[in-house]
Structures are given as C-alpha cells and as structure tokens.
Amino acid sequence: MKANIVLLPGDGIGPEVVSAAVRVLEAIGQRFGHTFKFTEHLIGGCAIDQTGNPLPEATLEACRTADAVLLGAVGGPKWDDPRASVRPEQGLLGLRRGLGVFANLRPVRVHPALIEASPLKPDRLQGVDLIVVRELTGGLYFGQPKKREWVNGQYHAVDTLEYSETEIERIVDLAFRLACQRRKKVSSVDKANVLESSRLWREVTNRVAQRYPDILLEHVLVDTAAMRLISAPHSFDVVVTENMFGDILTDEAAVLVGSMGMLPSASLNGKHGGLYEPIHGSAPDIAGQGIANPIGTILSAAMLLRYSLGLEQEARAIERAVDRAIEEGCRTRDLGGSLSTTAMTDAVIERLG
Ligand code: NAD
Ligand code: IPM
Ligand code: MN
C-alpha cells in the first residue's frame, strides 16, 4: 500500500524520537512492500520561531489531508514565559481540535523484564495491562471563557470545565467498544462528588452502559483512581476519563512501565486520519544528547499502522520487536541502560523479523 504520513518533529527530543520511528517505518515498508511518503511540517516552538504561529496554516492543511500524522513533542524553556502571547502547546491543542481527534488511547502494558525498572513493588506490577481512553478535545483545555481579567486592582484568571452529552457519549461508547475486545471492564473516572460536569458524565456513562450488558462498569473518583493506579493497577482494564484527569493519570501510569519514554498514544476522530504521539514531552533536560528513549514514539508508529492504515500484522511486528529487544536487555539510560536513541532503534529494527 501507499500512504502519506505527515511528520511533526516539534521541539526538544521530538526530532530525535520521530526520526527513530521513521527508520522503523521505513524498515517495515521494505519488509512488507509498502511505500510510505513522509512530509515534514512545523509545529510548536520551532514554528513560532520561524513563522510566529505555533500551528501554521500549511501544517494544519497537510495534516487534514494526510493518512496519518506522527508527532514528537512541543514546548521548552525558551517559550515558557507565562506572559508570552503565543505558546508551543497552543499549536498541539489547535491541531487536536482541528483534526477533531476526540479519543486519545494510551495503552499501558508492563513488560515483565522491566518490572525492576519501576520504583513500585514487583508484585503490584505483575500482569498490568490497561488502556486509558482520554477525552482530548473538550473539558478544561478548551472550555470558554478562558481568560485573564483585571478586576478591582488584581488579575482574575478563568478556565472552564465544560462537556456536552454528545461529547461524553462518543468517548464513553468508544471505551465500552474497546472493553468488549479486552477484559470487559470499564472504570469511568470523574469527580462527581464536586463537579457538575462529572455528574453529567456519570449519568451519560450509565446510559451508555445499558447498551453493553456484558461489560462491568465502575465509577471511580479521580483522587481514589490516582491512588489505585499505583497500589492496585491490575484492577483496571479500560479507564475512560475527561481531558485533564487523563493527562495527569497517564504520566502517573508511566511509573508502572519504568519510564516516561515508553508510552505511546493514538488520537482518533472515528473517521479519517489520526494523530500519533508519545505521551511524554520535549524533555529539555536531555534534548540534543542522543539519549532519549524512542520506544514511546516507535510504539505510536505501530498504532498508526494499526488504526489509520489497517496494517495489523505490521503493527504487531513492531510491537514484537520492541518486546524482544527489551527481553534481551536493550535499554536506554532512562531504563538503567546505556544505549543511545540510535542504538535502541537499531536493536528494534534488527528484530523486526
Ligand atoms: P517531559 O515529559 O518532557 O519530561 C519529564 C521527564 O521525563 C524528564 O526528566 C525527561 O527527561 C523524561 N523523559 C521524557 N521523555 C523521555 C524519553 N523519551 N526518554 C527519556 N526520558 C524522557 O515533561 P516536562 O519536562 O514537564 O515538559 C517539558 C516540555 O514538554 C514542556 O514545555 C511541556 O509543555 C511539553 N510537553 C509536551 C508534550 C507533547 O508535545 N505532547 C507532552 C508533555 C509535555
Ligand atoms: C500531553 C501533554 C499535552 C497535554 C500538553 C503539552 C498540551 O501533556 O500530550 O500529555 O496536556 O495534553
Ligand atoms: Mn501530558
């Protein structure tokens, strides 16, 4: 098959991990007879520096017409002034919203050989295999008003946490559909004891659950969920939650798998295309040193093959190669090893079979 893939390397370690994943995709193309056409565009801080806009029109247009988009990371200290009028992160948020990718899938599978890389007790990590379904285009990130105002001699800042029934229903329904192919359990995470938006979330979730009598549904308050995620992570199968809760819980989940560098994600709109990115950021503390862990981005590329191109066998080939490399002791620094980004990528490519 032929596919057009837009690359958005972005800032910090973004370009390092994206070029690693591209090498893996090229190797897959050769082995399985596919032609992937890659086109690179600007997003984030580097886009601000070159165009003044964190999401140039040409970038959004290219992403809209591509078969899929692979993104590294955006942001960094250079653009972090709280008073700055434009921020790299606005580019990423605009892209997610512009593509309508409301469903962010963040699978978290503990590799047995990496149990020792986590600070948690080994018995807690045995058999952990969960997926967080994060709502990505609503909630606090996008609710209006969002502003800063000068009132009575001081600033007031407002963010709005807002959800419609339609927004809740489509993400929760997707979580239930995923659960049908897994261990048949959905944990809906909210803060319904305090937030009106969470009470609506709960009501809609109960309604959706009636369509899935075989799936066990539990409602978990987000504070308890944060605790359970590290004390009893195996008790989760599919976790569905609003935008910011999902953001925070998945960084916490990275502790289960041994490193921020390990976790991939897929952002889908239920139609065409898809945005794929590791869950980590631009890691300014290690950028430019060639030591970033490329696995989160490589596994994101596997998700791209699966969800946007329908190439299940090829996706599995990547996932198996990553598993084997880890089993055989290949490790970047974040996992206690000494392999560079390039050497780790080589190790995966050698094991593609
Ligand atoms: P971060 O995820 O960039 O880094 C957190 C820690 O994890 C750092 O110690 C970093 O070195 C480590 N780490 C992250 N990815 C790694 C990898 N692949 N290999 C090895 N170690 C890795 O989070 P932060 O430092 O809070 O944020 C830095 C910048 O990234 C901020 O500007 C933030 O807005 C941005 N950010 C962007 C995205 C994105 O583009 N999707 C996601 C999160 C944060
Ligand atoms: C992520 C990041 C982003 C988010 C930031 C950079 C806007 O933390 O992808 O997890 O909060 O969604
Ligand atoms: Mn995050």
Q: Give the pLDDT confidence of 132-141 residue by residue, as tens digits.
A: 999 999 999 9
109 belongs to a structural domain: no
pLDDT score of 180: 98
Q: Where residue 353 falls among pLDDT bands split at 50, 70, 90? A: confident
pLDDT digits (tens, 9 = 90+) for 280-311: 999 999 999 999 999 999 999 999 999 999 99
- Output the CA–CA distances (angstroms, integers) from residue 274 to 71, 129, 189, in the order listed: 11, 23, 25
135 belongs to a structural domain: yes
Same domain for 311 and 216, yes or no, is no
**Which atom of ligand 1 is found nearest the CA of 74?**
40
- 122 Cα: distance to centroid of ligand 3 (angstroms): 25
Q: Which of 13, 87, 89 to mutate to test the pocket of ligand 2 (most atoms within 8 A of CB)?
A: 89
pLDDT digits (tens, 9 = 90+) for 202-260: 999 999 999 999 999 999 999 999 999 999 999 999 999 999 999 999 999 999 999 99
Mean pLDDT of 153-177: 98
* Domain enclosing residue 191, as ranges: 119-257
Predicted TM-score (pTM) above 0.95: yes
Q: Give the 3-state secondary structure percentages of the chain, helix then strand then coil, rounded to 5.
A: 45, 20, 30
**Which atom of ligand 2 is found nearest the CA of 89?**
7
Cβ atoms 118, 258 nearer than 8 A: yes
CA 232, CA 98: separation in Å to the nearest integer? 37
112 belongs to a structural domain: no
Structure tokens at 124: 């807690």
Q: Which of 257, 287, 307 is the last residue in one of the domains?
A: 257
Same domain for 252 and 290, yes or no, is no
Q: Edge-to-edge strand order for the sheet containing 238-241?
A: 35-40, 2-10, 68-73, 275-276, 266-268, 103-109, 129-135, 238-241, 185-190, 216-221
Residues in contact with 64: Cβ distance below 8 Å, sequence separation at least 6, in sequence order: 98, 99, 273
> What CA dihedral angle connects 34, 38, 44 and 45, to 10 degrees?
130
Same domain for 252 and 268, yes or no, is no
Mean pLDDT of 47-70: 98
pLDDT score of 148: 95
Same domain for 236 and 158, yes or no, is yes
- 20 Cα: distance to centroid of ligand 3 (angstroms): 21
Mean pLDDT of 176-201: 98
The residue behind tokens 């409602």 is 219
Is cis: bond before 145, omega within 30 of 0?
Answer: yes
- CATH number for the domain harbouring residue 92: 3.40.718.10
Cβ atoms 73, 243 nearer than 8 A: no
Instruction: Give yes or no for residue 247 CB within 6 A of ligand 2.
Output: yes
